Amino acid sequence: MNALGRQILVEFYHCNPRVLNDRDRIASAMGEAARLSGATVVEEVFHLFNPYGISGVVVIAESHLSIHTWPEYGYAAVDLFTCGEEILPEKAFEHLQKELGSESVSVMELKRGILEPKDKPLRHKPILPAEDTCGEAA
């Protein structure tokens, strides 16, 4: 299948609730997970909700790694979207499972940006035609 990227959705169950509500620890674990996967970290943003829960994203050159935590349920949802095949998502998820203290994990992978033609490899950074700001050829 010829796709621009892949999105991997991971559900971490039976996690340590204290870890799931520790903004600094979640940020550190997510940044390290991105690096372990071989991704290039561009920026990181994490938010601690009141009374509890964290949402955050590690923007990577290859797309993003995000997390949403529910400490009250011992649950975290993680999303890794990447273009290309160089990233090793299993490295990121193994690290996060350990850091979150997760006893059970569910994984689903989706292909994104399925384009024609299917018999030729896709270039992730194709050369765009010269255009002005109105979309007309220069």
Domains defined along the chain, listed by start: 3-109 (3.60.90.10)
Q: Which of 45-54, 80-89, 93-102 has the lowest mean pLDDT?
A: 80-89
Residue 67 pLDDT > 80: yes
Instruction: Count CA atoms within 13 Å of residue 96 on its CB side.
Output: 34
Q: Which residue has the tokens 């896709």?
A: 122
Which residues are annotated as catalytic? 63, 68, 83
pLDDT at 126: 60
**How far apart are the C-alpha atoms of 111 and 88, rounded to whole Å?**
15
- Is the pTM higher than 0.85? The answer reads no
What pLDDT band is residue 64 in, cutting at 50, 70 and 90? very high
Cβ within 8 Å of residue 85, ≥6 positions away: none
Q: Is residue 34 helix, strand or coil?
A: helix
